[in-house]
Structure 1
């Protein structure tokens, strides 16, 4: 019988399983029932996001995926509530570690762009919000993207209308080892950001807001080819929404943050 080649889905699962074993212990505590490992939970949560489905549908499909189950050493399928509890148990710090590890698998080049986008929350219907005159705020998600590999290095999520210039410094400080050139649009034109970049030995390539002819002259002198790579941020934002959905399914804000972190991890692995 002819041996089948590995599918993209199988390679995705194997990479996620490999990273999970590097990032966390096998079990959450010594009192664990040990029916399933944390590594398996992480892979299944990533797989749920990749397939843009529900827990029940994912587990139903897994019954017909013996190669996937074998790749993660899954002998018994967990219940949907087990995966839901695993999602609640795994802290945001774990997903950040996994995101950082996933970047090491990709050919990064040190040129990093920053941009923000909005994600809707799906737990309130449009009809309900219109009839009750409620306003459901979007989540503002700021991504730090390496333009060479389209890899997401880091993310910042907020439910408020926090200005871009207030968000960028924390992302820069957390990722100084991955950034050589920092690309940003006029929303990041702030002297504190430029000063921080110089302190960390980074080259800031940020457009100036044009209040005078001098600012226009500075913008005209920007390296157009290099600055043009910032468009990769918009490409990544678009891909996240097209492939994994424009809605966040979780109801609590802290779960929404984790769901977005898993989405970024899934993007890097995929």
Structure 2
């Protein structure tokens, strides 16, 4: 029988395993039962998001995937509750490190668009959201490299914050990664512009046209560079179509992690 080529799914698994090995130790502590590694947990959680499925369905599919199991040295399948507990234990900081590492898989050009989008939370049980805001959507702000469509950073909130209040934290976290920052009128704030310039970033943000002078300034914007911000909308659309337009988790902190795992999965898949 001819040797089968590596499928895109297998290459995804191998790349996710490579990033996991760079990001975390093999086990969470010296007291670990060492039945499964953190690397295996991370890869399986990414695969769950990539397949847009549940824990039980994922594990059922893995029964018929011997090459995938061999790629991550998985001799025995974990239970759904084991994967769920692993997701609870892996801090947001771990997923952010993995997201940052995934950006190294791409050539970048420093032109990074910023834009916000809503993600539906209404599929999660309302019983477990009693102490949370009544909003049925989370606001997600992405920094997207316009050359590779890779996601550099993400900010998630359920509060009613204006775009100009979110942008500063993203700019500060990515000093040195962003050279030009195209953004729409939602980021038209002098504090945002001043902070960007202080950190060596050229803000390419449209002004709200309250006067003829502001209209003239908008007309002088580099149309080609500013038009690159449409890549954010492309990325948002692709993620919602491939991985779902809503989050499944019940608690807000797990919903935030689920979103970051989705953006990590997008980067790995895009790198292939």
Task: Please give the range of the TM-score, normalised by the shorter of the 2 chains.
Answer: over 0.9
Q: Distance in 1 between matches of 2:248 and 2:30?
A: 32
Q: For residue 70 of structure 1, give the secondary structure of its aligned residue in structure 2.
A: helix
Q: For residue 160 of structure 1, give the secondary structure of its aligned residue in structure 2.
A: coil
The equivalent residue for 1:104 is: 104
The equivalent residue for 2:42 is: 42
1:1-270 maps to which residues of 2 (within 5 A)?
A: 1-121=1-121, 122-124=123-125, 136-270=135-269
Following TM superposition, by how much is the alpha carbon of 1:124 offset from its aligned partner in structure 2, in angstroms? 4.5
The equivalent residue for 2:130 is: none
- Provide Cα deviations, 1:42-98, integer angstroms capped at 9, x if missing partner: 000000000000000000100111111111111111110000000000000000000
Change in Cα spacing, 1:135 to 1:253, as seen in structure 2 (3 Å) is closer
Following TM superposition, by how much is the alpha carbon of 1:159 offset from its aligned partner in structure 2, in angstroms? 0.6
Q: Distance in 1 between matches of 2:108 and 2:145?
A: 6
Q: Distance in 2 between matches of 1:97 and 1:63?
A: 30
Following TM superposition, by how much is the alpha carbon of 1:137 offset from its aligned partner in structure 2, in angstroms? 2.5
Change in Cα spacing, 1:199 to 1:136, as seen in structure 2 (3 Å) is closer
Q: For residue 176 of structure 1, give the secondary structure of its aligned residue in structure 2.
A: coil
TM-score normalised over the length of structure 2:
0.95
Q: For residue 139 of structure 2, give the secondary structure of its aligned residue in structure 1.
A: strand
The 4+ residue runs of structure 1 with deviation greater than 2 A are 134-137
Following TM superposition, by how much is the alpha carbon of 1:135 offset from its aligned partner in structure 2, in angstroms? 5.1
Structure 1, gaps ≥5 residues long: 129-133
Contact in 1 for aligned 2:144/2:150 (Cα 8 Å)? yes
Structure 2, gaps ≥5 residues long: 128-132
Following TM superposition, by how much is the alpha carbon of 1:136 offset from its aligned partner in structure 2, in angstroms? 4.3
Following TM superposition, by how much is the alpha carbon of 1:240 offset from its aligned partner in structure 2, in angstroms? 1.0
Q: Distance in 1 between matches of 2:52 and 2:229?
A: 27
